[in-house]
Amino acid sequence: MNSSSSLYFNLETQRTANDAGGWYPEKMGVSVAVVLDGTQTRIFTEKDIGALAALLESADQVIGYNLEGFDLKVLSGYPEINVGKIRRLDLLQGLQKAAEKRVMLWSAVEATLGLTSESDGIQMVTCWKNGEIEKVIDHCTSVTRAIKSLHEYGREHGHVFYSPDEDGERHRLEVDW
């Protein structure tokens, strides 16, 4: 990997908040992490945390959704990773500021790109526990690709959309990615 890079990142966990004894993301453990680097998809599991740390810490920018509120907190549970070294762009923070409320990833992805997800992170914990690793990898990869597509659309057009209500009405959010 060269030193001038942006990476798209997402992870899934081994445990839910209930399993971890409360909202302690640092105790949830990484089941699968996916990094998109250009057209290359890299898959990491907990045994690969050192390699994941080196990749994330060396990137010019790590782009994700809810990085600050979740992903980096999960990673902070691993001494191999210095999350303070990770230069990042959290798309949720930009959308939350524009909407003046929390915007769910799939609300923005579906309204902007027409993509949907059949599964969620809680289901992926169950899949992980059941040994269905490929399902977790597929889900995490699709989420990471959705983050990348949303970011690219917003960067190109200066806005994205989201549907905050069940009525499906799209709202435009200006972004400066």
Structure-block tokens of residue 18: 């209930």
Angle between helices 133-157 and 121-129 (to 10 degrees): 150
Structure-block tokens of residue 77: 């549970």
Per residue in 14-35, pLDDT (tens digit) is: 999 999 999 999 999 999 999 9
pTM above 0.75, yes or no: yes
| Residues 58-73, mean pLDDT to the nearest whole number | 97
Domain 6-174 - what CATH class?
alpha beta
Any residues with CB less than 8 A from the CB of 108 and at least 6 apart, and which?
95, 150, 160, 161, 162, 173
- Judge contact between 4 and 57, C-beta under 8 A: no
Would you give the distance in Å from CA 9 to the centre of its chain? 5
